[in-house]
Amino acid sequence: MNKSAIFHRNDLNNIYALDKDTLRIILRTGKDVKSATLFANDPYINGISSNAPWYGKAYQMKVLYELSDNYLFYADINPDYKRLQYYFEISDDNQSVIYLEDGCHEKDFITDRFIKHYFKYGFINEADIMTVPISAKETLWYQIFPDRFSKKDCDFSKEWIEGYYDNSMKSFNGNLKGITDKLSYICDLGINGIYLNPVFMSKSNHKYDVDDYKKVSEDFGSSEDLKELVNKAHSLGIKVMFDAVFNHSGLGFFAWQDVMKNGTKSPYYDWYFINGDVNDENFFKDHNTRDSRYYSFAYVHNLPKLNTSKKEVQDYFIDILKYWIDEFNIDAIRFDVGNEISHEFIKRIRSELKGHKEDLFLLGEIWMDSGSYLRGDEYDSVMNYPLNQKLITFFEDEKQTADDFMYGINYCLSLYQKQCNEVMFNLLSSHDVDRITTRIKSKQKALELYAILLTMPGAPCVYYGDELLLDAPSRGTMPWNELLNNKEMTDSLYLMKKLMEIRSSYKELSNEKVSFIKSNKRLLHYFRPLLNGTLEVFVNEDKTDEMIVTSQESRILFESRYENGILKSGGILIILKN
């Protein structure tokens, strides 16, 4: 037995509460292991003395996820007294071992008189349970970059410039009224949540260099325009998420301006990370910060980094968030550069804002394993870039098989608790990466990827224009005029709407359960359980066509390149089985 592959720790995501009554226990093993049994019971069944005899009830564990080199076994149990003492018995074809906190032992060790290092879970305290807004599980998001989405009649001196332009710093004059005007279009897609890139005062088109966190950018309109947008969205059943840029400020932010004026005497001097001499004539020059004169986001000189460990900084921005909730009645907040903000700050945000608005959804922008931010006291979810990377890699690396795809998806699911997996913000495109059609160089492959994304656990997001399968810069303008007369676009829109309709019709697809059919080919085949029936998904990335026979009890919900029982290479088939 490969004992070095066995791992469990009473921490992280190895044991956690699903609800006030249920614990999930997860054990990692090598793939030589054939079975795992959990032995668990209350630690005090025969008294509190260390000499008191103790025994565990047997719970047969099942495989939750298969990874490339490991199995993750699990058991969900209901401790009678909400606390637990436990150990594992693990077997391969040749032997069985006992696994305790201090490692593996021979099976008879459990009956010996020696002190045993059992695992213990203290108590299911409701305050420690990871909870997420129920509505977040049912959300199909749509991301909008305001400057490039739509313009409506606000300022006729600013022309709406439409076309596939580059990602330059030029403004293309989209505005809030333009977004409000297109909410019916968005609603018709089946969308029930929009994520807006920053909308507050800034000198740039992207608005990530915020100068005033309360004043709506005049480029986009007014506070009244923003309120109208949110109110109209709510009337259509659409939630609204703002973008909070608290890792850094713009150069026009009052605190940085005071530092520029008063130097070390500024009361806001330690709101930033300043290492150089502010009296040096080169300190505030427009060049990168690799010299460490002050810290900034990614060495960009006009994005000075805020000290979010400082209480005064935390107080200020928590007040800003409460202002946004009270003034604009928003439903969710995305935190830019969410892994560089202090944990203490995020904890305070969650504690104070959830008390202010209980069902507020908190999303962190983090590009890697984010387990330390998803323990129930910080973010509800993060932008799921690990999933993004696994999906795209499968399509770009033709050596990968359906098994490799399964391992990749299961790896992503294994990172987080069940509650988090059901609200993970899953995306293929954003303002920070290429549009998926551009990256993958194929509209059909982009359609295949969206078929997968929209049938995976979590909360998917469609980037504006991706519903047209646009091959364009990620921050290009939305081609409203061309959409009226371009058959290729309307055909793409028709197909994407059918996929989004599946997602919006079966909101339980957010649940974590997905069953894969193993294969060394590139035909993806998996099942998703529904409240009434099962969704069966085929995506054929193999170079050969595949025969797929459907039963009379099945109903085809979506098909592309499927004809007379043959799923062609590049084809998609989604079936509802009762």
Active site residues: 336, 365
8 A C-beta contact, residue 36 and residue 86: no
Single-letter amino acid, residue 506: Y
CA distance 169 to 179: 20
At a CB cut-off of 8 Å and minimum separation 6, what does 550 contact?
A: 556, 565, 575
Half-sphere exposure for 52 (CA within 13 Å, toward CB): 10
Compute the distance between CA of residue 128 and CA of residue 181 in angstroms, rounded to an integer.
43
* Cα-based distances in Å from 403 to 410, 452, 523: 10, 15, 10
> Any bridge partners for residue 24, and if so which?
16, 76
Specify the 3-state DSSP secondary structure of 191.
coil
Task: Write the single-letter amino acid at 493.
Answer: L
Residue 196 backbone dihedrals phi, psi, to 5 degrees:
-100, 130
Other beta carbons within 10 angstroms of residue 505's beta carbon come to 12
Q: H-helix or E-strand containing 73? A: strand 70-77
- Which candidate, 109, 172, 70, 97, places its Cα nearest to that of 411? 70
Ordered alpha helix ranges (H), 254-365: 254-262, 311-328, 343-356
Q: What type of residue is 247?
A: N
DSSP state of 248: B
Strand arrangement, sheet containing 239-244: 381-382, 361-364, 332-335, 239-244, 193-196, 141-144, 459-463, 425-427
Q: Which segments within 233-328 are labelled E, that is strand?
A: 239-244
Q: Determine the 3-state secondary structure of 79 from DSSP.
A: coil
Interatomic CA distance for residues 537 and 496, integer angstroms: 16
**Chain-centre distance of CA 399, in angstroms?**
27
Question: Which tokens belong to 573?
Answer: 């088939």
CB neighbours of residue 72 within 10 Å: 23
Residue 325, token pair as written in the block: 């909730």
Tokens of 368: 């890697």
Structure tokens at 460: 């998917």
DSSP per position, 480-535: HHHHTT-HHHHHHHHHHHHHHHHHHH-GGGGSS--EEPP-SSSEEEEEEEETTEEE
Residue spans of beta strands (DSSP E) within 315-365: 332-335, 361-364
